[in-house]
Amino acid sequence: MNSKLSLLMISKDADDLLEKSLKSSKGLVDEIIIIDDFSSDNTLEIAKKFNAKIYLHHERDFGKQKAYGLEKVSGDWVIALDSDEVISAKLKNEIKHLKTLNYTGFYIPFQTHFLSRPLYFGGENYKKLILFKKDSTKIDLALVHEEFKISKGMVGELKNKINHYSYRSLWQMYKKFTDYAIREAKQKLKIGEKTSFSKIFLYPLHMFWARFVEDKGYKDGLFRIPLDLGFAYMEFLTYLLMLLFRSGNNADSNAD
């Protein structure tokens, strides 16, 4: 790739894997832009070691946080990484020799890890648009599951993978799922989705069945059962919180 490439990352108390993530971009990117939500751990100290340009900015909406960061990058091209994502050596080499031509973005496949072991089934075989031309891209604003989308030009797909260490311990995983459930509940209420007791109790069962059985998660091994139970827990908590948040809002309205 001949054009200037910027790394964009948002962070919040991410010191457990940040150094590994940033180190994987060394020799590939021309600048590192980090939008940090006032971390209280060693995140900023680690970022400074890589000469990152750091901007402190609070925003609960992941999409808005990344949109803010996109305004700060100076490169023509951007690779957007999370702090638990690591560029593989093969992917780094592929990007270095990439011929962009008429392309304005590329999907990159991900290799998810659970408790340091790679997963290949059960919804963990996916790709994301995280390498793109800045002036040809927009981002969906969302509390969670935000996505970059190409507004013009052609989209390609790379062969080599990002290593994603999203689930490093059971405590970290369930903490993450709890935060996502809170965000998802607020997001669903915002767009007018309704909850119900059947959703609260039946959707989690379906989530576990879909991931572990229908999508053949069992092929990864029984060790991943806690992960799929975690997704069921997140589904349960999301619809339960929707009920609680809605009840709280109704109570406030009646009080007024």
What would the pLDDT profile of 222-253 be if each residue is shown by its tens digit?
A: 999 999 999 999 999 999 999 999 876 654 44
Helix (H, G, I), strand (E, B) or coil at 147: coil
Rounded to an integer, what is the distance from CA 131 to the centroid of its chain?
Answer: 14
Q: Residue 215 has which token pair?
A: 């999508």
* DSSP output for 19-42: HHHHHTTTTT-SEEEEEE---SSS
pLDDT in tens, the chain (256 residues): 788 999 999 999 999 999 999 999 999 999 999 999 999 999 999 999 999 999 999 998 898 999 999 999 999 999 999 999 999 999 999 999 998 888 999 999 999 999 999 999 999 989 999 999 999 998 987 778 889 999 999 999 999 999 999 999 999 999 999 999 999 999 999 999 999 999 999 999 999 999 999 999 999 999 999 999 999 999 999 999 999 998 766 544 444 4
Helix (H, G, I), strand (E, B) or coil at 188: helix
Strands 77-80 and 5-11: parallel
Helix (H, G, I), strand (E, B) or coil at 207: helix
Model confidence pLDDT, tens digit, residues 1-26? 788 999 999 999 999 999 999 999 99
The residues spanned by each domain of the chain are 5-166, 169-255
Q: What is the rounded distance in angstroms from the CA atom of residue 32 to the CA atom of residue 83?
A: 12
Provide the β-strand partners of residue 133.
77
Beta carbons of 84 and 135 less than 8 angstroms apart: no
Q: What is the rounded distance in angstroms from the CA atom of residue 203 to the CA atom of residue 79?
A: 35
CATH superfamily entry for domain 5-166: Spore Coat Polysaccharide Biosynthesis Protein SpsA; Chain A (3.90.550.10)
Sign of the CA dihedral running 230, 236, 240, 242: positive
